[in-house]
Structure 1
Amino acid sequence: MLKNTVRAGLLAGAGALALNAMPAFAADTAPAADAAAEAPASDASAGEKGLTEIVVTATKRETNLQKTPISINVVSAETIKDRHVQSLLDLADGAVPSLRVATFEARQTALTIGIRGIVPLDANQPAREQGVGVYIDGVYMGRQHGLNAALFDMERVEVLKGPQGTLFGRNTEGGALSLVSKAPSGQFGGRISGGFGNYGSYNGEIHLDLPEYHNFSVKLDGVAQYQGATVKNPLAGQTGWNYFDRRGGRIAVRWKPTSDITNDFSYDNGWDSNSPFYSQLLNKNPNGCVAGPVAANSKCVAPGTAFTTLTGTVVQPPSIVVVNGQTRMKVADIGVPQQPSIDRTHGFTNTLKWKVSPELELRSITAWRGVTSEQWDNSGGAHRVPVYAANAPFSRYSLANLWQHQFSQELQAVGSVGIVDYVAGVFYFNEHVSDNAATPNSNIWNADGTGYTINTAALQNPFASIDRASVANSKSLAGYAQATVNPTEALHITVGGRYTHDEKKGTLVTFRNAANGNTLDKTWNKFNPMATIAYDVNDGLHVYAKYATGYRAGGASSRSPTYRGFDPENVKSYEVGLKSDFWDHRARFNIAGYIMDRKNSQVDFNAIYVSGSSNVNVLETVNVPGVTKIRGIEADLTVKPVEGLTLNASYAYTYTKLPQVTNPFTGITQNVYVVFTPRNAASGSIDYAHPIGTNGAEVRLHLDGNYSQATQTFDQYATKNDASVVFNGRLALADIPVSSTGQKLTVGLWGRNLFNTAYFYRRDPSNSLPAFAVGTTGKIGGVLGDYGNFNAPRTYGLDATINF
């Protein structure tokens, strides 16, 4: 009774806030600089002095964002340019406050993507799933590997707040990230861009539209992005840290044999060479661990343990090891062997649309995709276990290979009959993934700790000892339907549902260099309903209430010696929102409030085991009993007070609370946390354009600022990362005519992290606490200190674009 009363009160409060705020709703806002942006504008847009209409495809049909009763943010092509967004990792600065993007560990080879507090810690294993679905042109991406590839010619990025379990399917509890590419236009044109910047960076793009020929239109895209290491490696000839070299190409062909049939085919191929962010040692024995009885107020206590006595000695690191928790290091203290990690991505997509009648359009989306990843991560040096011992190995070189390929087929029927708009479809997905990993220690200390040598014997065949190897196969079959009834011009009632059948089979082939053979063979069936009531108060004010569900498939941890399995998690969401245009379409205000209850939350516990010359990362995933509470408010405001000036502000409040859970390593109940989810986050931007002369040229200025409160890195530790405030900017001379045939030149000066703000986006306390063990005696021989990763330093450059 009390729970229902509180729930009703929160929803009513959010609804009242939305209505009293008057201007609009928050769910579908366009973060910093996107409400005025570049998404396609309709003929009904407010005119030159007003804000442009934004078209989205979140409901599987083109709709006006402001009239779509879904919480959405849109990152437009112009926003991508202004923020110098080259890959999805560049959105980690908080352009969309409720969207969180982070590296897994320190690596750029796999991205962790979360929305609304649904953020998995380690979803990069073959038998594990993400909590946010990532789609490229309607095709679901099965792995988080390869997501940091260079972006091609994006029309927009839609951030669909979750859950999105009805139209988008499983693994969309937090929502969906939908990347929409620019399609062939059938008219000759394009653009060429190039630029350079600090750290030896350069980038180049070519986008070419060819004229339609015999009903065929072709578009070609090529991109190259390079940045040298921002932290140097003292070992000659070895790769430093935070380096990338991305290249890719895409060809899109549109065949339109009749006015009712459109068939789009595309092929893309990407290559990403990169290195991890550098892991610094932030402090030395910060919790004051000493041998003996554990005092009542001791900080040397690992969560999930009940140690009463500590044994061993905290070893002091050699003097050449730098302890620095204040500034971003430019040169590492220890030179280590490290070669670039390589991601290779490719994909074929065919999208067929047939307008059978005014009431029905049939669609088919067929795709084959694949990714291979070769990881070479030696970011920790002497900052991770094992700690110093004379003539002993150190510096954990984390090596891993992953191979994935997937096939998906989706059939849709979209149309309108009378007062009913409908979407129905079936979806099939088949994925095969395998991986292996090894962690040799790459360096050896000299006897007195004043120097070190390279562990050449271990590196001659680094995969001689395999930490783990696994293989997994996933199949998913789903059917869904959604209908919107419009009994009046103002009232819209939507109901829908999706039934999903999932199969997952896997085998842990090897663990700690021994044959294992533990298997996973599970089947899950799930029905996800949704319902929405939307009402158009007037042309500029729209309100809605929504109930939605979603689920994230279960799986197994290949970092677990028993290949421990875990069940799916399920989410129910209650949301109210308001969207509005006002002040003669010069302003938009959107606000949404939501309550999400998640059952069987999947949380991770990890520990490092030292084994001879390697260190094995053991990770156990368990389902949390009870209900995880996620509550939030999202608000966005866009104002165009005068011609040429656009102001944006976005805010997200996210409250999360998980029930306590038993630590699988110790059997003791402890608190757990949602990672990379700030309680408060905000973003704002200023865009100003002023004409020069009468030939259409203008000066354009963009400035954005992004704030995030401190967050946790690990499910099992309360330790938080730093809060952050980051500014980006761009100043451009745009649309300068360079010929009488329409070619125009734009020259821009851009900067990211303009004030060179340094903060730890990832902090790991596992090396500063007693080792996990069962019983009351803890060991402190492996205690060293917290280590973590700074954000990227200030980068800046000059670029030029010619449109033709």
Structure 2
Amino acid sequence: MTRLRFVLMLGTALPAACFTTSAIAADDVVAAADAVDAGDGSGLGEIVVTATKRETDLQQTPIAISVVNSQLIKDRHVQSLYDLADGGVPSLRVATFEARQSALTIGIRGIVPFDANQTARDQGVGVYVDGVYLGRQQGLNAALFDVERIEVLRGPQGTLFGRNTEGGALSIVTKAPTGEFGGRVSAGVGNYGSYNGEAHIDFPAFANLAVKLDGVMQHQGATTKNPLAGQKGWNYFNRVGGRAAVRWTPFDGFTADLSYDRSKDENTPFYSQLVNYNPLGRTVGVYDANGKLVAPPGGTCTPACIAPLSPLVVVSGDNRMKVADIGVPQQPSVDRTSGFTGILKYEPTPDLELRSITAWRKVSTHQWDNSGGAHRTIFAPNTNFSRYSLSELFQNQFSQELQAVGSFPQLDYVVGAYYFKEHASEAAATPSSNRWNADATGYTVNSPIVFGPITSGNQGWDRSSWFVQRDSRAEATSYAVFGQFTFTPARFDIFHLTAGARYTHDKRDGLLFVVQNKPTNYGFHFSANRVDPLVTAAIDVTPDVHLYAKYATGYRAGGANDRSQTFNAFGPESVRSYEAGAKLDLFDRRVRLNLAGYIMDRKGTQTDFDNVDTRPTLPDGSPNPTFNLHTEETRNAPGISRIRGVEADLTVQPVDNLTMGASYAYTYTRVPPTPNPFLNNAPFQVYTVFTPRNAASGFIDYEVPVAGNGARLRFHLDANYADPQYSFQSEPVKTDSSFIVNGRIALADIPVNGSGTTATLSVWTRNLFNETHIYRRSAANAAILGDYANFNPPRTFGGEVAIRF
């Protein structure tokens, strides 16, 4: 039914021919309403991007790029990067790590890390804010400040952006100070007790200084309630942040942009629900007087009995739970991010700009994840349950980049050098917060403080009583030099040949010095040199028809898995990409069609195998010393992993006030069987996570003038579909398909006085039809309990008032 609804809706915006491109296929899906206004009412306008380190027209840039602009951020009520998880940019996949909102997994074109939520591991897609690389997954879900646009650069970006961009890059560009007094403030409320407020103020320039202040506040109550009094429910967040930016222009040709930001994100995970019980049809055992699981009278345990289910536990099936069946302690995780950025630009000549980007950033995360309750561990008499995953991660980084961006006759160039230094440390514990009674008809909550010797069986969640499962630290250093040159022959100026390369030296050292609360001394060292080339040939068939072919490579650094028992190291992975694309403006720029097809071969795919021992007791009835211990090993897959895809985007403006469009991405992935360390290194088929085979989105925007005073009524509707997908690399279990519809109606630019102040009144909704789907599913416990899963957020809605002056 969801597929049918999607096709019917898309039919209003997209002719069937768009989905039958076969030869060259799909590139640059400019997501949603990015190309709305030409400024003169004559069709779709220019979109400026900085993917090549200089400002260029998106249609003339031979790179697959999607752009989420400030208008689209409002229309879709995007408050943080996780709000892009609904699939508005089909090639971009955003998911939580585990159930947690405190760390996000970002993927593009099938390059999606399973677990980069560690001290010595990197992502496959680089996230940048104003040109500054963010080194950790933690803190990525902080509130977005005054964003001008988000550029999604698809495919390897190893030459200009460097390591850890083998799938692409997500570049967030904020609005700079204007030097003129003005700004906007907004406030809104919604369901689940949500409220939000923003203030963005530009001050008049003084002594060549322009100052801008930004403040953001976002709050939402839990969407799954916790029956334990005084504890937070699940999918709660409270984000606050501020940013101060200064632009100094002491003389013509020189600009210094200095900014400092600080934010705090309090959040709880999504609830992990038991969606089935005993899916393998095993005999349900009983516990004898010694607490040992045995066969029921007259029965046998072949191959093994499954533990009985507590009558208190609700098997949810396909239903998102509104109230949890088991109350557990749940504190909000607290992420704090802060940083300073200094960007200097100097133009000694009209054809040369010298740049310096200097940044210090830090992240701290205090993780409290009790998402599973009794839905991820079995019932056994008088035993602990409900794994409370605790972590403290601290990271700080420094980066320095120098660029020279210039032009000669027939030659544009970018050359530069880059330095990055990072320190990260993490300690983790997994106490059990609850305890069953003898017959599973009741439970108690364990004390958060344990007195006496701390063991794996009696630990608490007060920091002084942690039984530390692991404690590690790591340091990474990276150097790089790069150059990219575009040559346009004087006698054949419709042809452009771009060539470039980047040399990178990476070094990483780490130490795992505590395992299972005992001192250890497991260290690792990684060092590698890498060259990533790029060659692109582009031709302007007409001023509105642009074709290109591209070869590029990307690289993800090696590291070590601190969830292993010995800090086992693994090697880097790399990608070779071959891409062809077309960017077309048709019918007097009323139709924009962008296409691309690509082949990517990945070598050394970093593959994770994980295991959580969920047995509270051993077969003889004695306590299990490794109960709740999460062990994970990473291996580089042998051979070549294959990724193939096509992408397409269509934007149509049949009349000045109506814009429609649709995007589509097809992604095929295949990873070769990889030795599984938990199965005696036998070859094991692994999977690419959070990558649907087919994904698509469509939108409709309509504006109509009101009262002839500049006010306008704006309607926005978008729909987003994705096929089922894997959520664990080592499990052949797929999630549900998804179909999410968002909408917004705004009465915009209402004159408030004669000085240019305007007001906008809007109502919005996300997940309009309250569609429910599983976005993360595991069958790891199928033999002892059942599958557990996390569901997408329910429908949210609200209203907002914004004043611009």
Show the counterpart of 1:41: none
CA distance in 2 between counterparts of 1:576 and 1:281 reads 45
> Residue deviations 1:310-332, cap 9 Å, x none?
65420111101110112111100
Show the counterpart of 2:638: 625
Structure 2 letter corresponding to 1:759? H
Show the counterpart of 1:325: 317
Structure 2 letter corresponding to 1:96? V
- 1:577 is the counterpart of 2:581: yes
Show the counterpart of 2:455: none
CA distance in 2 between counterparts of 1:656 and 1:501 reads 29
Show the counterpart of 1:376: 368
- 1:409 is the counterpart of 2:400: yes
- TM-aligned CA deviation for residue 46 of structure 1: 7.0
The answer to whether the 8 Å contact 2:613/2:626 transfers is no
CA distance in 2 between counterparts of 1:593 and 1:343 reads 39
> Residue deviations 1:690-742, cap 9 Å, x none?
00121011110000000000000111111000000000000010110010111
CA distance in 1 between counterparts of 2:211 and 2:709 reads 31
Structure 2 letter corresponding to 1:92? A
**Which segment drifts farther, 20-29 or 242-251?**
20-29
**Which of 481, 505, 526 is the equivalent residue of 1:479?**
481
Show the counterpart of 1:353: 345
The answer to whether the 8 Å contact 1:102/1:112 transfers is yes
> Residue deviations 1:165-221, cap 9 Å, x none?
000000000000000000001111100000000000000000001111111101110
Show the counterpart of 2:36: 36
Show the counterpart of 2:795: 794
Structure 2 letter corresponding to 1:790? F
Q: Secondary structure at the match of 2:34?
A: coil
- 1:642 is the counterpart of 2:661: no
The answer to whether the 8 Å contact 2:29/2:89 transfers is no
- TM-aligned CA deviation for residue 464 of structure 1: 2.6
**Which segment drifts farther, 153-162 or 46-55?**
46-55
- TM-aligned CA deviation for residue 282 of structure 1: 0.3
> Residue deviations 1:667-692, cap 9 Å, x none?
22121100000000000000000001
CA distance in 2 between counterparts of 1:789 and 1:254 reads 45
- TM-aligned CA deviation for residue 27 of structure 1: 3.0
The answer to whether the 8 Å contact 1:529/1:549 transfers is yes
Shift of the 440–277 alpha-carbon distance from structure 1 to 2, 3 Å rule, reads same
Show the counterpart of 1:108: 101
CA distance in 2 between counterparts of 1:550 and 1:791 reads 32
Structure 2 letter corresponding to 1:136? V
CA distance in 2 between counterparts of 1:648 and 1:542 reads 20
Show the counterpart of 1:273: 266
- TM-aligned CA deviation for residue 371 of structure 1: 0.3
Shift of the 471–740 alpha-carbon distance from structure 1 to 2, 3 Å rule, reads same
Q: How does 1:223-622 map to 2 (within 5 A)?
A: 223-290=216-283, 311-385=303-377, 387-456=378-447, 457=450, 458-459=459-460, 461=462, 463-487=465-489, 488-610=492-614, 611-612=624-625, 614-622=627-635
- TM-aligned CA deviation for residue 359 of structure 1: 2.3
Root mean square deviation of aligned Cα: 1.8
CA distance in 1 between counterparts of 2:272 and 2:52 reads 42
Structure 2 letter corresponding to 1:641? P
Q: TM-score, with normalisation over the residues of structure 2?
A: 0.92
Question: How much identity, in percent, do the aligned residues show?
Answer: 59
CA distance in 2 between counterparts of 1:586 and 1:497 reads 37
Q: Which runs of 5+ in 2 are unaligned?
A: 1-16, 286-300, 451-458, 615-623
The answer to whether the 8 Å contact 1:411/1:426 transfers is yes
Q: Secondary structure at the match of 2:276?
A: coil
Shift of the 696–380 alpha-carbon distance from structure 1 to 2, 3 Å rule, reads same
Structure 2 letter corresponding to 1:569? E
CA distance in 2 between counterparts of 1:290 and 1:671 reads 29
- TM-aligned CA deviation for residue 23 of structure 1: 14
- TM-aligned CA deviation for residue 619 of structure 1: 0.6
Show the counterpart of 1:140: 133
Show the counterpart of 2:673: 660
Structure 2 letter corresponding to 1:540? D
Show the counterpart of 1:163: 156
Shift of the 641–25 alpha-carbon distance from structure 1 to 2, 3 Å rule, reads farther
- TM-aligned CA deviation for residue 606 of structure 1: 0.3
Show the counterpart of 1:715: 729
- 1:80 is the counterpart of 2:73: yes
Show the counterpart of 1:6: none
CA distance in 2 between counterparts of 1:388 and 1:18 reads 53
- TM-aligned CA deviation for residue 35 of structure 1: 2.0
- TM-aligned CA deviation for residue 605 of structure 1: 0.3
Structure 2 letter corresponding to 1:689? E
- TM-aligned CA deviation for residue 25 of structure 1: 7.9
Show the counterpart of 1:125: 118
CA distance in 1 between counterparts of 2:21 and 2:372 reads 49
CA distance in 2 between counterparts of 1:325 and 1:258 reads 66
Q: Secondary structure at the match of 1:382?
A: coil
CA distance in 1 between counterparts of 2:19 and 2:793 reads 41
Q: Which runs of 5+ in 1 are unaligned?
A: 1-16, 38-44, 293-308, 770-782
Show the counterpart of 2:8: none
Show the counterpart of 2:3: none
Q: Secondary structure at the match of 2:613?
A: strand
- TM-aligned CA deviation for residue 288 of structure 1: 1.8
CA distance in 2 between counterparts of 1:417 and 1:606 reads 54
CA distance in 1 between counterparts of 2:436 and 2:495 reads 73
The answer to whether the 8 Å contact 1:360/1:413 transfers is yes
- TM-aligned CA deviation for residue 24 of structure 1: 11
Q: Secondary structure at the match of 1:257?
A: coil
CA distance in 1 between counterparts of 2:706 and 2:642 reads 53
Show the counterpart of 1:192: 185
CA distance in 2 between counterparts of 1:267 and 1:426 reads 24
CA distance in 1 between counterparts of 2:136 and 2:761 reads 37
Shift of the 172–613 alpha-carbon distance from structure 1 to 2, 3 Å rule, reads closer
Show the counterpart of 2:86: 93
Structure 1 letter corresponding to 2:695? A
Show the counterpart of 1:761: 775
> Residue deviations 1:368-411, cap 9 Å, x none?
000000100001000112x1111111000000110000000000
CA distance in 2 between counterparts of 1:19 and 1:378 reads 43
- 1:692 is the counterpart of 2:723: no
Q: Secondary structure at the match of 2:122?
A: coil
The answer to whether the 8 Å contact 1:24/1:580 transfers is no
- TM-aligned CA deviation for residue 291 of structure 1: 9.9
Q: Secondary structure at the match of 1:66?
A: helix
Q: How does 1:20-31 map to 2 (within 5 A)?
A: 26-31=26-31
Structure 2 letter corresponding to 1:127? A
CA distance in 1 between counterparts of 2:769 and 2:112 reads 29
Structure 2 letter corresponding to 1:402? L
Q: Secondary structure at the match of 1:767?
A: coil
The answer to whether the 8 Å contact 1:620/1:664 transfers is yes
CA distance in 1 between counterparts of 2:62 and 2:364 reads 38
Show the counterpart of 2:688: 674
- TM-aligned CA deviation for residue 18 of structure 1: 10
Q: Secondary structure at the match of 1:467?
A: strand
Shift of the 31–721 alpha-carbon distance from structure 1 to 2, 3 Å rule, reads same
> Residue deviations 1:54-81, cap 9 Å, x none?
0000000000000000000000000000
The answer to whether the 8 Å contact 2:87/2:721 transfers is yes
CA distance in 2 between counterparts of 1:759 and 1:359 reads 53
The answer to whether the 8 Å contact 2:29/2:664 transfers is no
